[in-house]
Amino acid sequence: MTAAPPAPVRAIPRPPAPSGPLAQLHRDIRRCTACPLAATRRHACPGEGPERAAVMVVGEAPGYDEDRAGRPFVGRAGQLLTELMEGAGLSRSRVYIANTVRCLPPKTGGSAEPPQEAVEACRMFLEREIALVRPAVLVALGRAALRALVSPKLAISDAHGRAYTRDGRWVYPMYHPSYLLRNGNDPALRRAFEDDMAGLGRLLRVHAATLRPRWSLEAIAWLYRSAPTPHTPNAHSRATTWHVLERFALPQVDGATITWDIRGVHEMFRTPSAIQELLRRYVGRPVRLDLTNSSLRRGVRATILAGTT
Ligand code: SF4
C-alpha cells in the first residue's frame, strides 16, 4: 500500500507591510550578503507580523517553501505552528514570526541546521528586530534559537516549556514544529507541544500580572501550580483569597534580603533567571540571586540591590 500524499500547504495570509525602521530592517535583510548563504538562497526571509507584538517567535532558518516565498514559516512547519498557536487561543496575526538565520541553509548530512558562521553573521538582524518589536516573550523554537537567545549549553529537550529571561525579556523555548512533522505527528509529542503552548499562555498571564510590585491574587493564581484560576466563580471571594495566601508562600522581605519558599511555584518558572526576574518584580528593585545554600526545588535567597528599576 502506498502512503497517502501529504495534504497541500494552506496559504498563510500575508500581514500588512511594516513601515519606518522595521521596513528599513527588512530591506537590509533582503539585500544582505554578509555570509555564504547569500550565494545559494533564492529569497532572504525577514520576520513578519505586527510592528509591536507581545510574542515574537524565533525559529531556526527558512526551508524550501520559505526560500521561494521570501517569508518565514509559510511551509508545513509554519502551518502546524499556526494550528498549534490557534489551538491555544493565540492568533498568528498577533504574533511576530522570525528566524535565527534569514537564508536557506544547504543540507549537510540530511540536516539543514544553520551553520554557526551564518548564525553569528545574522545575529545583528535578530537583535535589531527584537529591539524594534519589543516583545514581552521570545519563543525560541528549536535548538538554534535556544542557543542564540539563551545559552549554547542548554538542550532543547530539557529547556522546552520552561521560562528563562534575557535582557529583561522572557524567553520560552519550545520544540521546533518540524520535529513533530519528522516524527509523523506522534500523539505523545503533539501533546507535549500543546502543553508547551498552554504554558505560553500561563507565562503571558504571569508577565502581565507581575508587572507591578506586590502581586495580585491573579498573579499568584497563575504563578502557582494548582491555585484556582481567576476565572473560577468565587476566585475573588475573601475565602478563596485566604485559601490561596495561606497555601502558597509569597516572597519574604527582611531588610535587604529576600527569601522565597518556591515549593508551590509552577515548575516552568523554576529556572534561576525566571526566579530572579520574579523577585525583581516583587520588590521593584534589581536583586542578586544567591543559590549557594538554596535549591530551585525548595527555597531561594536573594539580595536586594540599591537603585530602582
Ligand atoms: S543568512 Fe543572514 S547574514 Fe547570511 S546572507 Fe542571509 S541575511 Fe545575511
CB 282 within 8 A of CB 214: yes
Mean pLDDT of 47-57: 97
pTM of the model: 0.89
Widest Cα–Cα separation across the chain: 73
Confidence band, pLDDT 50/70/90 cuts, at residue 233: very low
Q: Which domains does the chain have, with CATH numbers?
A: 20-208 (3.40.470.10), 217-304 (no CATH)
**Could you read off the pLDDT of 106-133 as tens digits, one per residue?**
876 555 678 999 999 999 999 999 999 9
Distance (Å) from CA 98 to ligand 1 centroid = 13
Closest-CA residue, ligand 1 atom 6, reads 103
Across the beta sheet with 287-290, the strand order is 252-254, 257-261, 299-304, 287-290
Contact 119 CB / ligand 1 (< 6 Å)? no
Distance (Å) from CA 124 to ligand 1 centroid = 10
